[in-house]
Structures are given as C-alpha cells and as structure tokens.
Amino acid sequence: MNNPEISLSFRNIATAQCTATTLAAALWIAGSFIGGFGGQIAAVGAAESLLLLVVSLIILVLFSPNKKRPVASLASLWSATSFIRFLAALVASTLLYYVAQFELRSLLFSFLLTSIFLLIAETKTISSMLTKCSSQTL
C-alpha cells in the first residue's frame, strides 16, 4: 500500500498565524486600556505578539510546508515543529525581557495568550487541509 503524500499551503498557515497574533495583540491592547493598566502594558503585549509572529514565520519558512510529505508523518512533524517554535519563542521572549526591561508578568501572560491563539489557528487550518486531502483520496 502506498502512503499518500500531502503538501500544506504556506499562504494559509501564514495567514492563520498573522490573524491569530493580530487578534491576540488587539485583545491584549484593548484589555490593557479597558482594565486601566496603561500604555506600557499594552506595548508589552503588542511587542510579544509581534515577536511570536516573527518567530512563527521563520519556523514556518524552515519547515517548508509546500514540500510533499507522507500524511502519516505530517502530524508528528508538525508537533515537533510547534515544540521547536515554542522553545525559540521562549528564548526570544527571554531576550526581550532582558533587553527591554519589560515587566515579567505582562510578558508571560501575553506570551501565553498569543501562543494559545497561534495553536488554535494553526490546528484549525492544518486539520481543514488534512480533511480536504482525505475527502479527495476516498
């Protein structure tokens, strides 16, 4: 039996990442001003979201989703890629903390908010691509 191969859409995944980080940043900024925390906290969240977007796009380029891969190994490979992205973003956020002297709590919660939005958006996008592929092969 031959394993079917699939390539993922770089554009769809990148769009999902951009949308997720923009939404997380917008929610963070709105919540900061509505909650009365001020512009400094809003700037921390926006900077963290931007940092996560840059790291995510770099890892996406390195993953090269347009390359054909066996469907059976794609989920494991994407999980490993997400883990590597998470670690790279954590290292970059730590550097941002030391360079910009941002408050740690704001940086951490903004990181977690953006990471959750990224994981949800990517999972939804990739699962829809896999579903489309499975319906075409049946």
Number of domains in the chain: 1
pLDDT at 138: 56
pLDDT of residue 76: 85
pLDDT above 90 as % of the chain = 52
Band the pLDDT of 34: cuts 50, 70, 90: very high
Whether the per-residue pLDDT at 107 is higher than 60: the answer is yes
Supply the pTM of this predicted model.
0.88
Indicate whether 84 pLDDT > 60: yes
Instruction: Compute the Cα dihedral for 96, 97, 101, 103 and give only its sign.
Output: positive
For residue 72, what pLDDT is reported?
Answer: 78
Comparing 27 with 106, which gets the higher pLDDT? 27
Q: At what angle do helices 10-34 and 39-63 cross, to 10 degrees?
A: 170
15 pLDDT tier (thresholds 50, 70, 90): very high
Of 37-41, 86-90, 97-101, which gets the smallest average pLDDT?
Answer: 97-101
Q: Which domain holds residue 58?
A: 5-137
CA distance 137 to 130: 11
More confident call, 105 vs 54? 54
**So what's the pLDDT on residue 111?**
92
Whole-angstrom distance, CA of residue 116 vs CA of residue 113: 5
